[in-house]
Amino acid sequence: MSTGRVRRAALGYTLLAPSLFGAAAFLLLPMLVVVWLSLQRWDLLGPIRFVGLANWRSVLTDPTFGNSLLVTAGFVGLVVPLQTILGLLAASLLARQLPGSPFFRTVYVLPWICAPLAIAVLWRWLLAPTDGAINTVLGRRVEWLTDPTLALPVVSAVTVWTNVGYVALFFLAGILAIPADIQRAAQLDGATSWQRFRRITLPMLRPTLFFVLVTGVVSAAQVFDTVFALTNGGPRNRTDLVAHRIYAEAFGAAAVGRAAVMAIVVFAILIAATVVQHLFFRRRITYELV
């Protein structure tokens, strides 16, 4: 190797060193540690003891964890379609670019800028049974957060309320990137605005839709702050999303090994979901180009 190449490599690795250290120490090493931890018993304070696959057996047969996965699936199933449809709707209104549109766009993004924890605390008051704003307006006592059938839809609604403006931004960028000529040509050919939306806007938004769905699923599957402050996983674990379960297991029940198993399972599911969505959309996109 020439000295020039050695020097360039030395410079390259010197510049990379801090970032590589960060990724190795705080992203990759934790992944190894979590696998190791899944084979240990630890209560946060005492010694760490090897227990083989005991944690795996206990978690994989634990109805509480099964419930958490189902609750999370239900939550994702409510939040992602709703926020996508409402985001698309808001974007198609904003895309008309009437005077004042930027103001509305800014307003819609506000909830998303704020700390999810603070938003959840705000809604905890709005939804409070006796002195909350919503029940005061309704004039009756609805147990929004403690009724087992209402709690998950309500937590989902708060999440959708937070995310719609954010989702709309991506659709807005996508719609504005569609060449105006195509829309105008279709209009001249007599296409109605619904036909134009269905046949032009929607197909051309496919990459945006992919991005919004993938990031929507991955982030909804990890929501923690919102349930922590709104319901603490209750009532009767009906809003016990997996991120909350991992937290409760590790820092509430002090069963760190079990929490590690749960974290690994969640990671595997998220990777699988991302890959599946990717394959699905790639096929659809190629089909579109042919």
Least spacing, CB of residue 201 vs another protein, in Å = 16
Between residues 78 and 262, which has the closer beta carbon with respect to another protein?
262
| Residue 71 tokens, joined | 């609750």
Between residues 51 and 229, which has the closer beta carbon with respect to another protein?
229
In angstroms, rounded to a whole number, what is the distance separating the alpha carbons of residues 244 and 248? 6
3-state secondary structure of 147: coil
Least spacing, CB of residue 32 vs another protein, in Å = 8
Q: Do β-strands 40-41 and 49-50 pair in parallel, antiparallel, or remain unpaired?
A: antiparallel
Give strand pairing partners of 40: 50
Between residues 185 and 271, which has the closer beta carbon with respect to another protein?
271
Residues 235-261: b if buried by 16+ CB within 10 A, e if exposed: bebbbbbbbbbbbbbbeeeebbbbbbb
139: alpha, beta or left, given left = phi > 0 and alpha = psi -120 to 50?
Answer: left
Least spacing, CB of residue 226 vs another protein, in Å = 10
Least spacing, CB of residue 290 vs another protein, in Å = 28
Least spacing, CB of residue 26 vs another protein, in Å = 4
Between residues 11 and 182, which has the closer beta carbon with respect to another protein?
11
Between residues 150 and 269, which has the closer beta carbon with respect to another protein?
269
Least spacing, CB of residue 85 vs another protein, in Å = 13
Question: DSSP states of 37-99 as a string?
Answer: HTTEE--SSS--EE-TTHHHHHHHT-HHHHHHHHHHHHHHHHHHHHHHHHHHHHHHHHTT--T
Between residues 116 and 233, which has the closer beta carbon with respect to another protein?
116
Looking at the chain, how many residues does it have?
A: 290
| Residue 198 tokens, joined | 């269905």
